[in-house]
Structure 1
């Protein structure tokens, strides 16, 4: 799986699902961001986390598993950037939203000849790394088809997994489920977007933060830390509870 490297010593404050939703609304109102911009920034951060975890020399084949919501959109954007970095992404996107934004993101990938697949198991077997962009901070309730078997496969695979904002099926506040397809699912890496969510206290892999666009005033309002991003990086590696980097 992923090897922890010495990067940064800091502990970040977390952002609840309710506050994360409120922050997104504020960014799109008084902050003057569009949903397209926020998704582009999130997807760019995800792509950079992949690059740091799994450089091209380790293998180019990236499977991006996308859900029907914003988390899936972040995955689609990340796949476009990964293609331009030189990776060979494949997209699993079984429940596409009817929203025009997702249709445009798919069209952008199709124009680059990035393949879409309905055969998750075959794609998993031919991948060097998986991006879990199925469910994000707004997930709650039951995992519905076709995702239970996908999450079970993510749990059981030996292929490294990077989860976007949350390991899919985890509760944002309380972490991994006690039963169901996500029981025992612990991906090797997680990228938190904007700020870590409370579930991070249960996570034991490598942890990245992406969100290099918050103003100091917004961060202060929500009690968030802005970590010291380096150079042109859109991500920074940070510890989880009980972990030193």
Structure 2
């Protein structure tokens, strides 16, 4: 039986400035090693669900929580964002917002420097992760000089150095052309197949993500989880057409 890493039980969330909840009575379990696609129309709550998983809610985005949720054994209501980020690595849609250093190598090493890791160990780990994502020859370059796909790979390497349990991709294809998008999905798939990490992909470009296997698809609509099923069952159900996805 799979180890449950993420669990929501009758979970609802209302942003501080809003009257109505953005997430309504979510019940969800995600196990170690699963690869899951989260889809839904704009405003469906899929991004808010991601914010709960990486602890931006309730740490950065305040509001009212009802029910319970836990991520890698940590209660969401009592979560410390730094502790959660040791277990959940997020690659954001706007990769530029994640860059904090002048070179690719320095950016990948950023979290390791905060941990006061010795220089030799850090250099080996940075080189190893750069190799994993195919960016070894770019270590001395500025992240701002890279293409969209290359920036995404650097962001991913910066997450992988922490050996997180969960990889959360927030619309990884948003700024990529179809060919580069397929390359990104292939890299994500290879990481999933060669590690025991749980992979979560929030994305509206359904066909591009399904270029490679996923275990389950979660469909969000108006703050509710309206489907949690396999790709085969979902694509034959007609639900996506009704939602305009």
TM-score when scaled to structure 1? 0.35
Structure number with greater Rg is 2
TM-score when scaled to structure 2? 0.35
Q: Comparing both chains, which one has the higher relative contact order based on Cα–Cα distances under 8 Å and sequence gaps of 6 or more?
A: 2
